[in-house]
Amino acid sequence: MLTTIALAAVTKAGPPLESALTIYNDGFALVREQRMIDLAGGPQDVLVEDVAQMIEANSVSVTSLSAPGSFTVLEQNYQYDLINPIAILNKSVGQPIRFHRHLANGTKETIYGTLISAPFAMVADANGSMGQTYNGMVVRTDNGGILLNPTGEIEVLKLPEGLISKPSLLWVLDGKAGSNRIEFRYLTQGFSWKCDYVMTLDNQGKVGGLKGWVTLTNNSGTSYQNAKLSFLAGEVNRYIEQRGFGGGGGAMPAMNAAAKMEDMAAQEIGEYHLYKMSRPVSVANKAIKQVSLMEHEGIKVRTKLIADLGPFYSNPRQEGRIGSGPIKPQAFITFKNEEANGLGIAMPKGTFKVFQADKDGDVQLMGEDFIQHTPRNEELNINIGKSFDVVVESKVVDFRWLNGNPDTGSVITIEFEARNRKKEATELIVMDRKFGDFTVTSEEAMARPDSNTLQWVLKLQPDEVKKVRYTVTTRW
């Protein structure tokens, strides 16, 4: 057990010479650090301070860079019993204490005794004049009395052994005497990253620029100075178990200033994509930092309007003339992620905001969506909201049982009306979804993207109103 007395006899590793972080989508990171240690011959304790408080202790490995094979690791301990009032009192059970109790007349009474049960919580007095209430604490006084949940101030006579001021690794190494430059690595919880994309369109909504940012959050319990920073995008499989790491949490992270705009170097690694910063970055504990991922211009986009009738007529047994009411089509900004369109890059999942310049050149928010991991040469469809000027209304105009028998099937005729109130022509995609054994006849050209989906692509002129009627025959 590491104690405050024994620390002087322990060899301490030096501060980090180099640090590198690979941060994953799923809330963890791989930490690699290089440090110097001066070893004496034979078995010895080596202390490494300032490791992550949320380290996965079973993931630690260490090697010598300057003298490979010069030592072996006999034991490894993760010390995270940090100094705090509750920890001190927990380790002071059975020890003499002094308790200063505030009396109603404004004076203090000092009580000498022995701590026989540590508190599980400390609650400050509402007006701050009476000290703290130690819930769960029991003190046996020197005159034979028992204090339960006392309010006041407690004083321990010595600092208990076994407490440390910062999370640390303690190794027992056996090796040759000499100075070693070591590298050790470990996994830690408490890290996360996500992408935030911002696309700004011209006032015609046809061409835009795209900026991508990585938003990094560090709640691991330690800071990293001038670290090489990498982000791995992809779904990494990990075995779920109760992992061995110390407690984290604490205050909300602070927002750090954004790093200078520059593209990250990207590379494929296995089934994933890795993004590396070109320069070292300092990552403070309990902080949020933004770093640039990409910046591209001249991206051609188009607006796609989709009205989905599916939810209203999914039941082939529905009988009667039931109207759906007006449907506002969903509006999508669509573009191809390819080199010919100024992109052709792997895009990690994240939020995607779309802005557009108005006629005066002022930029306005058009909408926001979330994209999944998207490889190059794939199309992206960003849902920005609902169309204001295009309306679709549908209704059942006829219903009958197939061959007059409810046990054989149904024949439903549906009509939808599409109205374009824009001052320019627009394209509208109308979709319906059917299930089971069915056939369809339609007055208007219709596509079947899959076995359950019906799709019409309508070219609507300004103020044009178009009606489409189709009949669905379902057998069961």
What DSSP line would sit under 444-476, residue for residue? S--EEEETTEEEEEEEE-TT-EEEEEEEEEEE-
Distances (CA, A) of 176 to 41, 44, 180, 193, 297: 5, 11, 10, 42, 58
Q: Rounded to whole angstroms, how far apart are CA atoms 304 and 459? A: 12
Q: Rounded to whole angstroms, how far apart are CA atoms 239 and 221? A: 23
Closest CA to 460 of 357, 333, 307: 307
**Token pair listed for 470:** 């189709």
Closest CA to 314 of 227, 194, 438: 438
Domain of 306?
302-329+387-475
Residue 193, sorted as left (phi over 0), alpha (psi -120 to 50) or beta, turns out to be: beta
Q: What are phi and psi of 59, to 5 degrees?
A: -105, 0
Q: What are phi and psi of 40, to 5 degrees?
A: -90, 165
- Asked whether the predicted pLDDT for residue 365 surpasses 80, the reply is yes
Question: pLDDT for 248-281, tens place per residue?
Answer: 444 445 545 444 435 577 888 999 999 998 899 9
Out of 125, 156, 187, a domain closes at 156
Question: pLDDT for 135-169, tens place per residue?
Answer: 888 999 999 899 898 888 888 888 877 666 677 88
- Tell me if 424 is assigned to some domain: yes
- Tell me if 125 is assigned to some domain: yes
- Percentage, residues of the chain above pLDDT 70: 87
Give the count of domains, the chain: 2
Out of 156, 176, 199, a domain closes at 156
CB 460 within 8 A of CB 418: yes
- Tell me if 319 is assigned to some domain: yes
- Tell me if 131 is assigned to some domain: yes
- Tell me if 91 is assigned to some domain: yes
- Tell me if 63 is assigned to some domain: no
Question: pLDDT for 313-361, tens place per residue?
Answer: 444 444 434 455 688 999 999 999 999 999 999 999 999 999 999 999 9
Out of 139, 156, 173, a domain closes at 156
Entry pTM = 0.72
Q: Rounded to whole angstroms, how far apart are CA atoms 287 and 280? A: 17
CB 264 within 8 A of CB 278: yes
**Token pair listed for 163:** 């407490």
Sign of CA dihedral 336, 341, 342, 346: positive
3-state DSSP assignment of residue 186 = strand
**Token pair listed for 198:** 């911002």
Question: pLDDT for 112-125, tens place per residue?
Answer: 999 999 888 888 76
Where residue 454 falls among pLDDT bands split at 50, 70, 90?
A: very high
Question: In the 8-state DSSP scheme, what is residue 89?
Answer: H
Tally of CB atoms within 10 A around 369: 17
Could you tell me the CATH number of the domain that includes residue 91? 2.30.30
- Tell me if 196 is assigned to some domain: no
Q: What radius of gyration, in Å, describes the C-alpha atoms of the chain?
A: 34
